[in-house]
Structure 1
């Protein structure tokens, strides 16, 4: 891509850099809005009619279509800001105080318009964008790491979903005294897969003894294929497509031997259990012999994820791996 840029005469390199940072900002803002709204509202997380015309207009160009399907991908930046403002309570754990956020976004808006309409940048515009990204950097780090901060409901019978599938995890924690649980167990050699259910609490959500049906909680389903076997991800994604709107994300693994799916708890236990049972059945029909150890530079899983809408995440997406034990600069600004 760099060689392509080098071929463009009189390119404004600073404008390209500013645009790239703004693109990264918008991408992650939309991701945050998607996760938090779906965790709060489940199926009713967004009024799809708001972006239907824009979506239909884009998709009619079938010769140049892209995989995006989220209505947030077809929302203007101004509309995205309104969505955040109208639901501030679920974004406040990750963003600066609202008055500061609003003031800074006005500046970002102006810089964004300069880029979009081919006007000159102010000499400090790049620095303003970089400083803004630094100001929100750790908030987005918290957003991402909290998505990987899950826990097991103990004892299992405190939660219907956990209890339903606990027997499919041979390493489910065992109670050794009144207050202590340990992870012990043995997986039979002929066991095809392990199903584990954990729970994610979003930071704006109060701690609750009840998970099922509670806004702000997500069930974190992991199915791990054992032995010399793996998923046929392409078949799994196709076979489970009718369920995809129910998920927050489908997270793919570099070795193709596991699948992680996050599901809003506010659907209620009956619906979540039904979804997971269908996923287990699909798993049983999409297991294939292992292709062996995959080189870390292999991009086949990422390429597959990129062919699907935004909710399918490749192993390189921070939402699949970044946790609180990994301090870093999120935007590297």
Structure 2
């Protein structure tokens, strides 16, 4: 009952309980505190870019899933090119064997490499061509984003111009798919 009442107060702009944002910021500051200031500052810059990339990459996966479910039916996974499907299944089996590692292990698309996402769209182009401007448009942007993504995934710092390129390509994608 209290939670229902608290929700109504929060909707009205009245703060109830701890501010989660402030708590998260404090926890992050504490976790970063042992490291030199320069590394902490760079990590915070990269964290913002990682967050945008995380959202983008997972949106592309959802976009593929929704498009193929709508056009090929709920068994669309069975119709994936064998090489792509086998790659994802092998990585999924490895994740399952690593039982100590907790996390999402059921979504087959989550086990595809970033580069496979564009490859999958191109392979199933007839289902995407009414949304995506051209195969060249898709390949160029996804190839560029993959290179930057790999820098980020291996904890290397990007220059500000690369930040802008990533933001621009992701904004292009969002505009095209209607986000």
Q: TM-score, normalised by structure 2?
A: 0.69
Q: 1:45 to 1:2 in 2, by over 3 A?
A: same
Superposed displacement of residue 29, structure 1: 0.3
Superposed displacement of residue 71, structure 1: 0.8
Secondary structure (helix, strand or coil) at the match of 1:46 reads helix
Verify: 1:40 aligned to 2:58, yes or no.
Answer: no
Answer yes or no: is the 8 Å Cα contact 1:21–1:129 preserved in 2.
no
CA distance in 2, matches of 1:103, 1:62: 37
Give the gaps of 5 or more residues in structure 1: 142-329
Secondary structure (helix, strand or coil) at the match of 2:68 reads helix
Q: How does 1:38-77 map to 2 (within 5 A)?
A: 38-47=69-78, 48-77=85-114
Verify: 1:5 aligned to 2:28, yes or no.
Answer: yes
Find 1:21's aligned residue among 31, 34, 52.
Answer: 52
**Which residue in 2 is equivalent to 1:82?**
119
Answer yes or no: is the 8 Å Cα contact 2:92–2:105 preserved in 1.
no
Q: How does 1:183-222 map to 2 (within 5 A)?
A: none
CA distance in 2, matches of 1:18, 1:77: 16
Secondary structure (helix, strand or coil) at the match of 2:103 reads coil
Indicate the structure with greater strand content. Answer: 1
Answer yes or no: is the 8 Å Cα contact 1:19–1:115 preserved in 2.
yes
Answer yes or no: is the 8 Å Cα contact 2:95–2:101 preserved in 1.
no
Residues 31-80 of structure 1: CA distance to partner in whole angstroms, max 9, x if unpaired? 01111112222254124544222112112333443244121011111112
Answer yes or no: is the 8 Å Cα contact 2:68–2:76 preserved in 1.
yes
Indicate the structure with greater helix content. Answer: 2
CA distance in 2, matches of 1:120, 1:21: 15
RMSD of aligned C-alpha atoms?
A: 2.1
Q: 1:125 to 1:4 in 2, by over 3 A?
A: farther
Answer yes or no: is the 8 Å Cα contact 1:59–1:65 preserved in 2.
no
**Which residue in 2 is equivalent to 1:129?**
166
Give the gaps of 5 or more residues in structure 2: 1-23, 79-84
Q: How many residues get paired?
A: 142
Secondary structure (helix, strand or coil) at the match of 1:124 reads helix
Q: How does 1:232-251 map to 2 (within 5 A)?
A: none
